[in-house]
Structure 1
Amino acid sequence: MSWLTPMRARSSDEPHRASTPLELFFDLCFVVAVSQAALPLHHSLAEGHVLVALRGFLMVFFAIWWAWMNFTWFASAYDTDDDVYRITTLVQIAGALVLAAGVDTAFEHSDFTEITIGYVIMRLALVAQWLRAARSDPQRRPTAYRYAIGISAVQVLWLLRLLLPAESALTVPVFLGLVLLELAVPIWAENARGGPTTYHPHHIAERYGLFTLIVLGESVMAAVVAFHDAYNERAEFTAGLTRLAISGVLIVFALWWIYFDRSAHGLLTSLRTSILWGYGHYFIFGAAAAVGAGLSVAVDHVTEHAEISSTLAAYAIAVPVAVYLFFVWLLHLRPHQSGTLRYAYPIVVVVILLLPFVPGSIELIAAVLVALVAVMITVGRRTPDPIA
């Protein structure tokens, strides 16, 4: 392999396109940041600091998800897998690890300095990739330059944001404004006169599916650690923890089944639908990560370590499960459904959000999800697919 090969655009219908070992390594390293974000979410919820927990988690998770998403779509179009490409990608991974190291400081002291530095490292490494693509792909040079300019400009604004005091009333509004600018860059760039990038629908669907698997796996690991510690503490909690463990396993299994029931590549038929589909996964990935934190909160409640009510402990699971279900239905399943079946998921979402007021709510959430999967297998598979 040569040191530097031209970064020509890959074909959007390239046969047998699969994720590379570097992409899988990238995902695994990013999950370190996901786990670091989920841990303080768990502790803050267990202490009853709900708004602080949600604000911190959603802000930190945006940085993780957005950097991952931008690399994923770039790699789908321009992965040359040469030495320079690998080194630049490893720099992005290093930035993700710096970001992960700053999560605790951001949650506890609202100090986003370390997170911002890690984020900027990731983003500027991607700028270098776009500049290289511009040099090698004359047809899409305007698109690549727009990406490089837009990303660089927003990084300057992120650094200027650090001048705000930690507890400033402008912190959240400025953050939201910068998020909107970040989201606008791909829309602006992909509509350049050079044409959109040649992302591969099958490859993109596989990459998103693999990251969903990894994030769900992280939730399982977080819950297992919490259960292990609790079981070893006091025998009197064994019955309650066993019921919770069985329910947690069923919940995660059902979430996996629901996401992978249908392939998504057939939905990525236009730039508009692809962007909406890609952006909507912020809620799927974030909710999947939050399920693990919710299960850990439930363990703390059963073992009397949480300073919250049973209703709030149940909502720590019910809310991320409901968000996950709604967006998987909206992005993945709704286009495949017809008739009354397409309303089943919104109804289940409402039911899950009401269950925390009922005794044994976590067990009931698991039962409802298992029933939903059963309906998908029996009724859903027999219903004609409108886009098949």
Structure 2
Amino acid sequence: MAERPRTRAWYRPMVAREAHEAHRVATSLELLFDLCFVVAVSRAGSALHHALAENHVGHGVFNYLCVFFAIWWAWLQFSWFASAYDTDDVSYRLAVLVQIAGGLVIAAGVGRAFEGDFAVVVAGYVVMRLAGVSQWLRAARGDPERRRTALRYVLGISLLQIAWIARLALPEPWLVPSFLALMVVELAVPVWAEQAAHTTWNAHHVAERYGCFTLIVLGETVTGATSAIQEGLHEGHHTATLVSVAAAGLVIVFSMWWLYFDRPGHRRLTSFRSAVVWGYGHYFIFASAAAVGAGMEVAVDYDTHKGHLAHLPAGLAIPLPVAVYLISTWLLHIGPSNECRPIAIGFPVAAVLVLAAAFSPAPVHLTAAIAAGLVAVVVIATRGHPIHE
């Protein structure tokens, strides 16, 4: 008897997915959602580069961290919800379409947000959260066991969004303190909501989603560096220097990829507490990885005598984010108490050496050598040891 063709439901109860569902992978819709954040990450990196190039170091770094938080937090909230409640019916897909639209509005507002005007970013959040709250209301209706959790999310998200809108009317001296305060409350809402009953996120799925976003920020690093080097080569000067910087940058990015993906991330997601630390801690991995791209552009500007930075600030543009990346990866993926001592010790030692490279005549090349050396240590130390997926 021939199999009946499958039809996609318009609406089905939003019941919780199994936490240990086998073969759970990122869906094509989730990957499409990620694409809108490629633009946002690229804009944030570009804005950081321009701020550093104009020698506005403190202003640029602080605004970058704030803007990147807005980008990362929007992505995180969608990703964890989808891990627990992706029904993949027509209603769910249309709600995600609205969230994608909100994400694109956020991306469009990155430039203005970097100058302190978050109005467009807040508008994007309103769009995303209208759809997100409707999804949580569906979860409250379809999953009675976690209804209190879902309603706590609805309440927390709604009140916070009202607060972000009200913040736009505050006088300038209150903007930074209010941003930091609301940021802390944003981080607290999921912790508070999940106390009622934990949602059934899937460790393998969450780890894959974070891996996808890591690839996004590393990809933007490559794109930013390539554009800067191409512009330098177009002028026909400093060719040998730019080629060597490009080679060193490629080694750095490849080493960052290797070190992050060498160990399966899901092995660190053993409890709700570990998931919060791991999930929130990735902010530093993502932000530092994206900042390396801006650092590459700063390095090209310095070597082609275009930038206004002195040697030390220019020299720190790559080593500093790479050091943050190494320490964050060490803490979240490796662990200070890792049974393999060369690896457990190697990451922080390499981070210190990378920072020291900023004071050398060739910070980019030394950073590449140290990162590659750490990869070699990892390979040698784990030779013959199975990697459990």
What is the TM-score when the length of structure 2 is the normalising length?
0.95
The answer to whether structure 1 residue 142 and structure 2 residue 117 are counterparts is no
Residues 282-297 of structure 1: matches in 2 within 5 Å? Answer: 282-297=283-298
Q: Is the 8 A contact 1:30 1:93 kept in 2?
A: no
Aligned letter for 1:119? Y
Structure 1 position 236, deviation (Å): 2.8
Secondary structure of 1:247's counterpart equals helix
Secondary structure of 2:173's counterpart equals coil
Q: Is the 8 A contact 1:301 1:313 kept in 2?
A: yes
Distance 1:381 1:179 in 2: 43
Distance 2:129 2:67 in 1: 15
Question: What percent of counterpart residues are identical?
Answer: 54
The answer to whether structure 1 residue 98 and structure 2 residue 105 are counterparts is yes
Secondary structure of 1:80's counterpart equals coil
Residues 1-388 of structure 1: matches in 2 within 5 Å? Answer: 1-108=8-115, 110-165=116-171, 168-192=172-196, 195-233=197-235, 235-334=236-335, 336-339=338-341, 341-381=343-383
Gaps of 5+ in 1: none
Q: Is the 8 A contact 1:216 1:288 kept in 2?
A: yes
Distance 1:319 1:280 in 2: 17
Q: Considering only aligned residues, what root-mean-square deviation do their CA atoms show, in Å?
A: 1.5
Secondary structure of 1:357's counterpart equals coil
Aligned letter for 2:161? Q
Partner of 2:3: none
Give the 3 Å change call, closer, same or farther, for CA 336–384 of structure 1 in structure 2: farther
Gaps of 5+ in 2: 1-7
Distance 2:41 2:94 in 1: 23
Secondary structure of 1:164's counterpart equals coil
Distance 1:350 1:383 in 2: 27
Question: After the TM superposition, which parts of structure 1 deviate over 6 Å for at least 4 consecutive aligned residues?
Answer: none
Alpha-carbon displacement from aligned partner over 1:58-109 (angstroms, at most 9, x marks no partner): 111111101101111100000011111111111111111111111212223x
Aligned letter for 1:31? V
Distance 1:341 1:182 in 2: 34
Distance 2:183 2:279 in 1: 15
Alpha-carbon displacement from aligned partner over 1:181-227 (angstroms, at most 9, x marks no partner): 100111001111xx200000000011100110111011101111111
Structure 1 position 312, deviation (Å): 1.4
Structure 1 position 127, deviation (Å): 1.0
Distance 1:341 1:286 in 2: 23
Q: Is the 8 A contact 2:343 2:378 kept in 1?
A: no
Aligned letter for 1:9? A
Structure 1 position 50, deviation (Å): 0.6
Aligned letter for 2:250? V
Alpha-carbon displacement from aligned partner over 1:99-156 (angstroms, at most 9, x marks no partner): 1111212223x21111111122222321111011001111110111011111111111
